[in-house]
Amino acid sequence: MRSLSLLLATTILALPVAWAETSSTQPTEDVSTSTPQPFIIPNEARTLEETLRLAESHPLIAARQYSVEQASGTLRAARGARWFTLSGDAEAGIQAYDDEDDSGSAAVGNLGLGFNQPLLDGGRRRGAVYSAEQRVSAATENLAWQKRLRRYSAAAAHINLWLAQELVRNNSDNVSHLEAILTDVRGRMGNAEATVTEVAEAESRLASARAAHAERLTALSSAQATYVRDVGEDTSRVASPGEGLPVGTPVGLQPHPLIVSARYAVQEAEGLIRQRKSAYAPTLDLRGRASHNAFAGTTREEDASQGQLTLNLGYTFLDSGVRSGETAAARAARKTAEAELANTTLEVEAARLAAQGTFTEATRRLEESARARTENANVIQHLAQEVRNGNRTVRELLDARRDQLAAANAWSQAYANRVLSTYDVERWQ
């Protein structure tokens, strides 16, 4: 459930000014060696723009590009089938012969050249070319969608890794604060200003905070692995994702690559119907052949050349329902493609509206979490001194630190959610 909430949260931005003013900082106090340290290698943090550029060379995008090339090759083959073919053949050998007045062996050879030009085929070749053209267009749209998907996945990987870093930082700060509280309470107990119960409670809160910090480090390692998978490159640290993309009010449902690809699938099925219907029409081919035969015996030599040009008419009268079955299957395929187009249109529109709604909600949550964090900071600012003065209890201070950590984590989560929601809106535009 925790991983699911993180995934949904990755569908969200933060203001650079607010980040600079409110982001938690590294602890200034000495941290006990028993405290888990963040698994972050000091180096220059990778920006979101760099991450998106790296994702452009992801293997999944390359696979879609090869699919376009494959479809283009099929189109070239379909277009080539409309034109004539020219083929040649040659034979050479030795032949034994025994005639009434002559016998022996002879060297024989044959050279031939064949020509074939389809003239009429009922539209089969035109249908094949049409289907191939639609297949190329659909593959191109699928490539465009894969690029969008990779861009979103890379943004999600970057933002999730940044969020994991911030949660580690927040928990590290919390551990440092609790260690400072425990040190202070122990010192006050020596002066009879604190009780054993207060020391025990501070120790318990610190132990829980260290355990939670270790869990955050594990989540950070998982986020780094996801980054490698979705971006195609490794990194140990990423920079703040910034404000995200500008999001405006959608004017209307614009053609989405998935919708356009589904339309081309319908047209491809229409081309298949044309090919199947062509089986009911006669075929007419122009064929030609020229050949030269040579015979070189022991006593005689012969050479002969010939050529012919013919028109070949063909028609299938009976095929036991093969043509009608293939035509019916092609029509059903077209209806299936039309239904899938309608469903894809609905799904894309629903995803578009959901992305807009997620962005609006994420913006609201970010504002709320920012207010909550500010209010919590104001409470913490004076509470520690009041505890020293004996006006507040240690438990109240520990509870306030717990609330401070929750507010910091909630703001980091809301920040990440809003940023990624802008990329989700872009994905479905």
User: What average pLDDT score do residues 87-108 get?
Assistant: 82
Q: For 113-146, write each residue's pLDDT tens digit.
A: 999 999 998 889 999 999 999 999 999 999 999 9
More confident of the two residues 134 and 23: 134
CA–centroid distance for 376 within its chain: 40
**Residue 74 burial (C-beta neighbours within 10 Å; 0-12, 13-18, 19+):** middle
pLDDT over threshold 60, residue 428: yes
The one-letter code for the residue type at 24 is: S
Instruction: Give the pLDDT score at 341.
Output: 96
In angstroms, rounded to a whole number, what is the distance separating the alpha carbons of residues 143 and 296? 63
pLDDT band at 104 (very low <50, low <70, confident <90, very high): confident
Instruction: Give the pLDDT score at 251.
Output: 52
Instruction: Give the pLDDT score at 249.
Output: 58
Instruction: Give the pLDDT score at 76.
Output: 95
Q: How high does pLDDT run on average in the chain?
A: 85
Instruction: Give the pLDDT score at 30.
Output: 38
pLDDT band at 69 (very low <50, low <70, confident <90, very high): very high
Query: Looking at residue 205, which CATH number applies to its domain?
Result: 1.20.1600.10
Instruction: Give the pLDDT score at 254.
Output: 65
Instruction: Give the pLDDT score at 283.
Output: 92
Looking at the chain, the whole-number percentage of residues with pLDDT higher than 70 is: 88
Instruction: Give the pLDDT score at 250.
Output: 58
Q: For 177-211, write each residue's pLDDT tens digit.
A: 999 989 988 888 888 777 899 899 999 999 999 99
Domain span at residue 323?
A: 2-428
In angstroms, rounded to a whole number, what is the distance separating the alpha carbons of residues 171 and 36? 10
Please say whether the dihedral angle defined by the alpha carbons of residues 381, 384, 388 and 393, taken in this order, is positive or negative: positive
Contact 53, 233 (CB under 8 A): no
pLDDT over threshold 80, residue 20: no
pLDDT band at 43 (very low <50, low <70, confident <90, very high): low
Q: Which residues contact 418 (CB under 8 A, 6 or more apart)?
A: 12, 13, 14, 244, 359, 362, 363, 365, 366
pLDDT band at 253 (very low <50, low <70, confident <90, very high): low
pLDDT over threshold 60, residue 8: no
pLDDT over threshold 50, residue 34: no
Structure tokens at 416: 């990440």
Q: For 209-243, write each residue's pLDDT tens digit.
A: 999 999 999 999 999 999 999 999 998 899 999 98
Instruction: Give the pLDDT score at 213.
Output: 95
pLDDT band at 384 (very low <50, low <70, confident <90, very high): confident
pLDDT over threshold 80, residue 25: no
CA angle 396, 398, 399 (to 5 degrees): 65
DSSP per-residue string spanning 370-392: HHHHHHHHHHHHHHHHHHHTTSS
Instruction: Give the pLDDT score at 252.
Output: 54
User: What average pLDDT score do residues 140-166 get?
Assistant: 96
Domains in the chain, number:
1
The one-letter code for the residue type at 303 is: D
In angstroms, rounded to a whole number, what is the distance separating the alpha carbons of residues 130 and 338? 17
pLDDT band at 380 (very low <50, low <70, confident <90, very high): confident
pLDDT over threshold 50, residue 39: no
pLDDT over threshold 60, residue 1: no
pLDDT over threshold 60, residue 40: no
pTM of the model: 0.78
More confident of the two residues 109 and 156: 156
